[in-house]
Amino acid sequence: MNENLFASFIAPTILGLPAAVLIILFPPLLIPTSKYLINNRLITSQQWLIKLTSKQMMAMHNTKGRTWSLMLVSLIIFIATTNLLGLLPHSFTPTTQLSMNLAMAIPLWAGAVIMGFRSKIKNALAHFLPQGTPTPLIPMLVIIETISLLIQPMALAVRLTANITAGHLLMHLIGSATLAMSTINLPSTLIIFTILILLTILEIAVALIQAYVFTLLVSLYLHDNT
């Protein structure tokens, strides 16, 4: 049993070199591809799911916003596979690192905001001052809206980090309790183990939901600026 509760969140190294890059590049290798005209059931299901997700996210976008469809679909697949692989024993989850989530959130948010200022600068500036604002409140509202805009990528990254980290910690604690109770009380061990199984199922759902939420929020930021 691992004595350090946070050891699983430490970036792994191989011969003293950081292995996080290799781990980040590994999930795309698990996505099957086909060279044949007729696909098998796995690839057909995969393509149907990608098409359904893309259609749902891109439905509200105009032509310019739909140019981001490949990037958004790649983003949701990457986050989902990374989160799911992190549920395996003795594995490392890159999305528990705030630095990596910020590295994903900031460029996407900045790209959407810059696109908004370039193509629709009047509408972009109008977000800083709602219509009908009393004159004495204008400076305060501009500051509040500016802070609200700048905090968006931080909120994206912190939300993903907190949800994935909390689930891993809870699974670690319940797993440790199951192992400790196995030599003391068998009925209690079975109850705790059942809770662990249910929590694992919940974490699988959370891994997929958080990938969808992250990508959906990026899509909404893009919609507001196109």
The string of DSSP codes covering 141-158 is HHHHHHHHHHTHHHHHHH
* pLDDT (0 to 100) of residue 4: 63
Which pLDDT belongs to residue 17? 65
111: number of Cβ within 10 Å:
16
| pTM > 0.85 | no
Q: Which of 164, 162, 168 is nearest to 8 (CA)?
A: 168
pLDDT of residue 1: 45
For 132, phi and psi rounded to 5 degrees? 85, 15
Q: State the pLDDT at residue 11.
A: 66
Q: What is the pLDDT of residue 6?
A: 63
Closest CA to 218 of 33, 4, 36, 57: 57
AA letter at 99: S
Pick out the chain residues at pLDDT < 50. Answer: 1-2
pLDDT the model gives residue 2: 47
Q: Where are the domains of the chain?
A: 1-225
Buried residues in 20-49 as b, exposed as e (16+ CB within 10 A): eeebeeebeeeeeeeeeeeeeeeeeebeee
Q: pLDDT at position 139, please?
A: 79
